[in-house]
Homo-oligomer: A and B are copies of this chain.
């Protein structure tokens, strides 16, 4: 809080405080909220009325209990309250998800269609149609949408570059909101690894971790002090272009020896002696061969895991994060990558002897990004409920 504390901001602050307490301790009575927050019971009752009216909390019947006195009504987050729509454009699919206010996934759909070499406008028209179908198909009020794109995204929804889609300086937020089928929701755009990290954060809360998302490119989302770190321009997380070997092979970015040249999907396929082709097919084939113990495939995965571990060790040395989370296709490959990543962390992280770094696969698997996108909408409402409650007033 940078300004003076006055009535309006007091209400905003305390509304969020009560909602946060309901979220973490539900079911909880008004009296318990008052005791836990230090607010008076009258203040809590008034705030709870505002939250009920906005359908942010709901009342549940108390469980019958022995002894005297009527038990108090419990408050919970409202599963019928404002929900979030997540959308994802990736190289070989479009996806949508709806997450309700409690964080539950209420809808999730993936359309496998190759998006490369398509006009952005055609892709966005499909995204708008998918959004309309999704919103129409759930019995919830969707508050807003968040779209994940595998690229560098500016705060205002401009995609600076999405190399694997072949996009460059594409305005996404404006045209999407203006598209024929778009369901009239506010929409914002974010990088896919950032949203994957938010998905992981919601599914497996922890104070700090490095989320590495493996797709054709390799991106990262950084959770520091419990929140997503975005950087000065929103361009953080470009771990795919961290140098692994200074004089290594030339990357599509122009530099040498980038992580993407060792752990990107095409690099793994090439090292495994597999034709790149269309990724879903190739990835399934890679997994089959790895399971069968194919030595070339195993070597390719070992090289990828080692490069991932070297890059991740640098991040841990610098940022002192507790865990490295393997997301995107790395989640599906985690069984083969895990030990190599862990070995590099053990030998290269200065403080590993005092505090070993946990390596784990992403809790939500490859759906983390689109579920994270939907969850990010809900998270914003839960963090600052006054905007929603004020609009409903």
Contacts and interface: CB of A to CB of B under 8 A. Distances in A.
Interface of A: 1-6, 10, 13-14, 17, 37-39, 152, 160, 207-208, 220, 222, 224, 229-239, 241-246, 253-255, 258, 306, 310-311, 313-315, 317-322, 347-351, 354-355
B1 A233 contact: no
Contacts of A3: 17, 37-38
Contacts of A235: 320, 350-351, 355
B5 A5 contact: yes
Contact of A351 (B6, B229, B238): B238
A260 to B, nearest CB: 10
Contact of A347 (B231, B255, B350): B255
B313 A231 contact: no
A37 B5 CA distance: 10
Contact of A320 (B13, B233, B255, B318): B233
Interface of A is mostly: loop
19 contacts: A2-B17, A5-B13, A6-B38, A160-B351, A160-B354, A208-B232, A220-B318, A224-B229, A229-B319, A232-B321, A232-B355, A233-B351, A235-B320, A235-B351, A241-B348, A242-B314, A243-B348, A258-B348, A315-B318
Contacts of A347: 254-255
Contact of A14 (B4, B236, B241, B243): B4
A220 B319 CA distance: 10
A231 B10 contact: no
